[in-house]
Amino acid sequence: MLYQQQGRKMTTHKNIALFQTQAEVLDVAGSIAGLDDAVAELAGWIELARNRLSDDDRVVLTWIGGVLYREGLRRRNSGQ
């Protein structure tokens, strides 16, 4: 859920807002990290945290990794 309703006003979900802020920081820092970098970081982090993650955590994180991987593959295949 990207947005949540507070009364009559729609606001950006707080975690989405954090992602947006991080993206802006990456841009200001001149980061060239892309989807492949995010997939690699996520995979490495999951491996390091495997003993602390619940089955539900692993399912969600694997889903996220799958979406990121798929989008990276689509971009590579389309020549972007």
Residue 35 tokens, joined: 């989807």
23 and 48 both lie in a single domain: no
Say how far apart CA 36 and CA 70 lie, in whole Å. 10
**Phi, psi angles (nearest 5°) of residue 54:** -80, 170
pTM: 0.79
Residue 41: predicted pLDDT: 98
Identify whether residues 59 and 23 lie together within a single domain: no
- Residue ranges, the chain, pLDDT below 50: none
Predicted local distance difference test score (pLDDT) of residue 39: 97
- Residues, the chain: 80
**pLDDT score at 61:** 97
Same domain, 53 and 80: yes
Whether residue 19 sits in one domain with residue 38: no
- Average pLDDT score, the chain: 90
pLDDT given for residue 70 in this prediction: 97
Question: Do 71 and 38 share a structural domain?
Answer: yes
Domain count, the chain: 2
What would you report as the CA-atom Rg of the chain, rounded to the nearest whole angstrom? 16
Structure tokens at 15: 């975690």
Domain that holds residue 6: 1-31
Instruction: Give yes or no: residues 47 and 75 share one domain.
Output: yes
